[in-house]
Structure 1
Amino acid sequence: MTYSDTPVPLRLKPSRQFPFLARHPWVHAHALAETGHNLKSGQVVDLLDFDGNWVARGVVNPGSRLRIRLYAFDANIEINEQHWRSRIDAAIARRRLTGPLDPQAAERIVFSESDLLSGLIVDRYADCLGVQFTAGALLRWQQPILEHLRSALSARAIMVRVDEKTAKHEGIEPQNEWFEGTEQQEPVLYSENGLQLAVDLHAGQKTGGYLDQRLNHLAAARYMKGRSVLDVCCYNGGFGLVALKQGAKSVVGIDSSQAALDQAQQAVTRNGLGNDSDSTISFAQGDCFDELKRLGDEGQRFDAVILDPPRFAGSRHQVDTALRAYRRLNSLAVDLVPPGGILVTCSCSGRVSRSEFLNMLLDVGRRKRRDLIVLENRGPAPDHPCAISCPESDYLKCIIAEVQ
C-alpha cells in the first residue's frame, strides 16, 4: 500500500479547533468539515481549522469514528518510523525516573495517550511483552514498532493483540499472535509485591494482566493485618494475595471468571500462602452483586471489604448507569463491614470522575447512615501517568476508607 509523503490537509468545522489547541489527541469524525473517507488508514494528515490555519499533525483512520489521532503539535515534527522509535525511547526513559529496571518484575512501558502514543499499550512481564494496538491507523507501522520494542527491551517474547471490540470500532481485524520468532508456550513468571505471579500473554485479558493496581494492593494490605477480608472481583487475587502475605487473618475471593480464580489458586500454591493455621484463603465463583447480597442476607460480616469491579462506563452516555451500579455495589459492601472496618473501593471507569465517585460514596454513607472516612485517595502506579491534555487518561480511583 502506497502513501503520500506529504501530509494531507483536513479541515475542522467552524470553532472546533479549541480542544486540539489544548493538545487533546482525539479528533472525531463529526468535528471535521472534510471526512477523509477517501484516504488510506495510516495516512499522515495535517489538521487545519476552518480558516485553513495549521493546528496539529496526526494519522487518519477512515474506518473509525475516532477519525484522527494527533501525535505532533509542531509543524516541524515528521511522523515516520523514527518518530515512533523516539516516542518509545522517551516512554522507557520516563519509567526509569522512579527507579532502575527490575528485570524480574512487571511494568507498563507505553500507556497510549499518556506517553503521546495514542493507540499503543505495552506491558513488560519480566523479559516478555504484551502489546495491544487500539488504533487501526498505527498498524501501518506495526512491524518497525515491534522490532524497536524487541531491541530496546531485549524482549524474549512479544504477544500482539487487537481485541474484538477495538477491531469493530477501528474497522480492522482482531489479532492475537506472537511476533515473529518470539513464541512463548508457558505462562510468564514475574515478581510483584514479594510474590511470584504468572501471566498468560496469549489468553489473559488486555495485555495479559493488570499492572495499574499493584501499589494499591500493597497500600491496602497495610490495613488488613489480623482482619478477615472479602475481596470482590478479585480476578487473579491481586488484593487478597498481598493482604494475606502482609498478615490478614483470612481472605475470601469472589470473581465471575473461574479461569481467573484458577490462576489465583495457583498463585496461592506457588507462593506457599494459606498454609499457616493462623491464615486461610478461599475462592468462590459468582456475580459480585448476587454474592454480596447473599452474604448480607446470611448475616456474614468482614473486617474489610475490597471492591475492584470491571469498567462500568465505556462512554459518557453510560455514566449515570455506572454510578447507580457503583452505588449499589458499595451499599451492599458497607452492610458487611462493622464499625471500624475498612472499605477499599475502586473504579477503572475513566468517564466517571474522581469527584463523581466520591459523591457516590457520600450518597452511600447518607443512605446507610454510616460515616465513611477516607484514609487514602489513590490512583494508578506511576508507570500509568496521566496526560493533562487528555483527562480520560486519569481513569483509576482507589479509595481506602474506614467505615463507622
Structure 2
Amino acid sequence: MNPPSSRPRVLLKPRKAQPFYNRHPWVFSSAIERTEGEPQDGDLVDLISHGDHFVARGLYNSQSKLMVRLYSWDSAREIDAAFWQERIERAYQLRRDLLGLVGPESGYRLISSEADGMSGLTVDVYAGFAVVQLTSLGMAKRKDEILGALQAVIQPRGIYLRTEKGIGTLEGIALQDGPISGEIPPPDLTILEHGLRLRVNLAEGQKTGYYLDQRDNRQAVAKYAAGKRVIDAFCYSGGFGLHAARAGAASVYAIDGSEGALQLARLNAEANGLRGIEFTKADVFVELERMLQRGEKADIVVLDPPKFARARNAVNEALKGYRRLQSLGLQLLVPGGILVMCCCSGLVEPIALDEVLTQVANGERRELQILERRFAAPDHPVSLTCPESEYLKCLIARVW
C-alpha cells in the first residue's frame, strides 16, 4: 500500500467536485481530468478539486467506470485496518443495540456497502456465520484486513465468501466462492425470522443465501392474509407465502423457476408445520398466464421478481417486464383484493414504477388504493448522501 507522503492524486474536472464535497462516494471516470503519481488499481488515492483542494480519500480502479470509491473526508485520517474495524463496530452497534437483531439464530445484514460507509462490501450474518461479498477491487485487495476486523468485532462461527455475478469482469476481481475461516456452514443451517424457522443455503442460495431485506415486508403482507387465497410469485425459499400461511391464509400457491429454491421452501413449510401451500416449479409469467386461462382468481397476489435492470440501459426493458407482471396480477385479483408489487432494481425509480402501474390499472379498468409504501428492513439503511442505496420498493395496494 502506498505511504501518505507518496499517495497518488486524482484531479477532478472543473465544476465536478460538489457531489463529492457533499459526500457521494462514487467518482466515475467522466468526472476525472487526470491522475498524478501513477496509482495502481486498488491503491489509496486523494481526490482533489480542480482548484487543488483536498476533497476525500478513497480506492482507485482504472478497470472500472466507477474509478474511485470514497471512504473518508478527513485528510488526517488514514484508511487502514483500524479504520475498517471502526466502521464494522459502528455497523454492529446499529444491528445489536438499536435494532435488536443480533442473536444465535438471527439473520441480519451487518454491512450494507455504501449505507455503512464501506462501498464494495456486503456482509450478512446467518446464525453466527458471516457471508462476505467483496464487489470492488480495492476492497478485495484489503480482504485480510477486513476479515480480521470482522473476526475481532463479531467472532463469527465461520466466514463464507460469495461472489456477485458479473462483478469479476466489471471490477477485475478474481475470487472464488467458499469457506475462508472457521466452521463449515452445515447444510441445514437455520435462522429465525419473526417466529418462522427458515433454512438458508449459503453455498448455492441467491444473493448471500436469503433475501433479508424483505423480512419486515413479509410480515406486513401477512396481516392481510387470514382466510385469503394467496399467490406468491417468485417465492424463492418460501418468503411471503410461508408468512401468509402461518397468518391463516386459506391457500397459498407459490411459484418459482428454481427447483433448489422450492426444495428449501418445502422443507421450511414442513419445519414450521404449515399446510395449504402448493409449490410449483414454472416460469412465473407462463404460469400466471395459465392460471388466467383456467379462470383462477386470488385475494392476494405477491409479485417479487429478481432484479430486472442491472445497468441503466436495461431500465426500459425492465419496465416492460414490470408492466406485464402487473397486468397479470391485476387480472388474477378479485375486486377488493391486494396487490403486492416489489422491485429490487435500484435503477428503477419509484415514480417510474408508479407510472407503469397507473397505466396498467387504467388499461385493465381497475382502481387502486395504495395502503402501504415499504422499503428494505432497517438493517439495510439508506445513506442520505448516496440515494442509490435506497433500492428496494414494496407497494401494497387494494384493487377494485
Shorter-chain TM-score: which interval? Answer: over 0.9
The count of aligned residue pairs is: 398
Q: How do residues 164-243 of structure 1 correspond to structure 2 at under 5 angstroms?
A: 164-243=165-244
CA distance change for structure 1 residues 41 and 211 in 2, over 3 Å: closer, same or farther? same
CA distance in 1, matches of 2:76, 2:245: 54
Aligned match of 1:53: 53
Displacement, 1:133?
0.7
Which amino acid in the other structure matches residue 381 of structure 1?
Answer: A
Contact 1:187 1:201 in 2 (8 A): no
Which amino acid in the other structure matches residue 103 of structure 1?
Answer: P
CA distance in 1, matches of 2:35, 2:282: 46
CA distance change for structure 1 residues 152 and 323 in 2, over 3 Å: closer, same or farther? same
CA distance change for structure 1 residues 109 and 390 in 2, over 3 Å: closer, same or farther? same
Q: Deviations over 1:138-157 (max 9, x none)?
A: 12221121122123212101
Contact 1:3 1:40 in 2 (8 A): no
Specify the SS of the correspondent of 2:335: coil
Displacement, 1:100?
6.0
Displacement, 1:35?
5.2
Q: Deviations over 1:16-44 (max 9, x none)?
A: 21221221111112221125794223211
Contact 1:132 1:160 in 2 (8 A): yes
Aligned match of 2:258: 257
Sequence identity (%): 42
Instruction: Note if 1:25 corresponds to 2:21.
Output: no
Moved more, 96-105 or 187-196: 96-105
Displacement, 1:130?
0.9
CA distance in 2, matches of 1:183, 1:151: 19
Aligned match of 1:364: 360
Displacement, 1:77?
1.8
Instruction: Note if 1:347 corresponds to 2:343.
Output: yes
CA distance in 2, matches of 1:68, 1:301: 51
Aligned match of 1:156: 157
Specify the SS of the correspondent of 1:306: strand
Displacement, 1:53?
1.6
Q: Deviations over 1:276-330 (max 9, x none)?
A: xxxx111111112111111112211111100000111112222222112111110
CA distance in 2, matches of 1:294, 1:381: 34
Alignment match of 1:394 (pick from 381, 390, 394): 390
Contact 2:9 2:37 in 1 (8 A): no
Aligned match of 2:126: 125
Q: TM-score, normalised by structure 1?
A: 0.95
Specify the SS of the correspondent of 1:213: helix
CA distance in 1, matches of 2:380, 2:316: 26
Displacement, 1:161?
2.1
Specify the SS of the correspondent of 2:314: helix
Q: How do residues 247-286 of structure 1 correspond to structure 2 at under 5 angstroms?
A: 247-274=248-275, 280-286=276-282
CA distance change for structure 1 residues 205 and 64 in 2, over 3 Å: closer, same or farther? same
CA distance in 1, matches of 2:162, 2:130: 11
Specify the SS of the correspondent of 2:181: coil
CA distance in 1, matches of 2:203, 2:259: 17
Aligned match of 1:3: 2
Displacement, 1:99?
2.8
Q: Deviations over 1:177-231 (max 9, x none)?
A: 2123332242321101211111111121221111000100000000011001000
Which amino acid in the other structure matches residue 171 of structure 1?
Answer: G
Aligned match of 1:277: none
Contact 1:36 1:60 in 2 (8 A): no
Contact 2:232 2:302 in 1 (8 A): yes
Displacement, 1:4?
3.5
Specify the SS of the correspondent of 2:397: strand
Q: How do residues 89-104 of structure 1 correspond to structure 2 at under 5 angstroms?
A: 89-95=89-95, 96-99=97-100, 101-104=102-105
Contact 2:159 2:182 in 1 (8 A): no
CA distance in 2, matches of 1:52, 1:182: 50
CA distance change for structure 1 residues 41 and 373 in 2, over 3 Å: closer, same or farther? same
CA distance in 1, matches of 2:342, 2:80: 39
Instruction: Note if 1:144 corresponds to 2:145.
Output: yes
Aligned match of 1:41: 41
CA distance change for structure 1 residues 132 and 301 in 2, over 3 Å: closer, same or farther? same
Aligned match of 1:14: 14
Contact 1:4 1:43 in 2 (8 A): no
* Cα RMSD, aligned residues only: 1.5
CA distance change for structure 1 residues 167 and 372 in 2, over 3 Å: closer, same or farther? same
CA distance in 1, matches of 2:354, 2:16: 32
CA distance change for structure 1 residues 232 and 199 in 2, over 3 Å: closer, same or farther? same
Contact 2:25 2:69 in 1 (8 A): yes
CA distance in 2, matches of 1:101, 1:261: 28
CA distance in 2, matches of 1:99, 1:324: 40
Displacement, 1:248?
0.4
CA distance in 1, matches of 2:93, 2:192: 21
CA distance in 1, matches of 2:173, 2:142: 15
Which amino acid in the other structure matches residue 3 of structure 1?
Answer: N
Task: Specify every segment of 5 or more residues in structure 2 that has no aligned partner in the other structure, as ranges.
Answer: none
Contact 2:48 2:55 in 1 (8 A): yes
Contact 2:128 2:157 in 1 (8 A): yes
Which amino acid in the other structure matches residue 305 of structure 2?
Answer: P
Specify the SS of the correspondent of 2:142: helix
Q: Deviations over 1:348-384 (max 9, x none)?
A: 0111112222222211211111011111110011101
Instruction: Note if 1:379 corresponds to 2:369.
Output: no
Aligned match of 1:84: 84
CA distance in 2, matches of 1:169, 1:37: 24
